[in-house]
Amino acid sequence: MHVLIINGSPRIKKYSNTDKILAKFTEGMCESGVTFEQYEISDRKKWDDIRNAFYENKDILIALPLYVECIPGLLMEFLETLTPKNDDTRISFILQSGFAEGIQLRCGEEYLKKLAGYLGCTYMGTLVKGDNFGIRFVGAEQREKITGQYEQMGREYAKDGGFMSEECRKFTGPEVFPAYVRLLVGLMFKTVARRSLNKVSREWGCNKPLDFRPYD
């Protein structure tokens, strides 16, 4: 099997969490001899090449982050330039996000089911997973812990070119956190996470508080 992989994040490859996830995912996927070519939607100069690859390939995987509850606008802009295929092409999705509960991604997942039809492709499932905010901020060891889980999902995908298996369904984790976890997360965002985000923003050259309101 040869797979066309499209990273649907508007962030350039170097800074894209989706790219770090794909690096691990493809390691697992290629173990059984699957090959792939990967493109980034953030690179507009490549849009003609991505379009050609879309028409030429029969197994397509679009990996995308959740942006404001659904798919990123730049990816949408690209998809609107495509003509539906209707040639038995199979399409799957990796939908990943910042917030951890599965329920946050379900609206996006429902849209992707429809999108497969709009593109004239057969829907082969969506791998749904949150809790990925940290990939860009954390050190190498912690990053490996977050992204390493996707290696096994790459192996699963290689079996039948989709995400319909029970193992892929379970990969999402908890649909909704119990009340005490939600309380703890809320507390963390006000304390530990806030301090660490302030530190990261200073390192990135931000010299105003994160809650700065220039228009007030």
Residues that bind ligand FMN (CB under 6 A): 9, 11, 16-18, 65-69, 96-99, 104, 130, 132-133
**Distance of closest approach, residue 8 Cβ to ligand FMN, in angstroms:** 8
Helix spans in 80-139 (H): 106-118
Q: Which CB atom, from 27 or from 160, has the smaller least distance to ligand FMN?
A: 27
Minimum distance, C-beta of residue 58 to ligand FMN, in the bound complex (Å): 26
- Nearest CA to 164 out of 153, 175, 173 is that of 153
Residue closer to ligand FMN by CB (options 166, 211) is: 211
Nearest approach in angstroms of CB 13 to ligand FMN is 9
Q: Helices 179-190 and 192-203 sit at what angle, rounded to 10 degrees?
A: 40
Contact 92, 163 (CB under 8 A): yes
Nearest approach in angstroms of CB 9 to ligand FMN is: 3
Nearer to ligand FMN, 17 or 57 (CB): 17
> Quick one: 75 or 124, whose CB is closer to ligand FMN?
75
Spell 65-87 as b/e; 16+ CB within 10 A means b. bbbeebbbebbeebbeeeeebee
Phi, psi of 21 (to 5 degrees): -65, -45
Tokens of 5: 């992989």
> Which residue, 89 or 97, is less far from ligand FMN as judged by CB?
97
Give the residue with the Cβ less far from ligand FMN, 101 or 156: 101
Indicate the helix (H) or strand (E) that contains 153: helix 140-160
Least distance CB 147 / ligand FMN (angstroms): 11
Starting at the edge strand found earlier in the chain, the sheet holding 2-7 runs 35-40, 2-7, 59-65, 90-96, 122-129
Least distance CB 81 / ligand FMN (angstroms): 21
CA separation for the pair 131, 65 (Å, rounded): 11
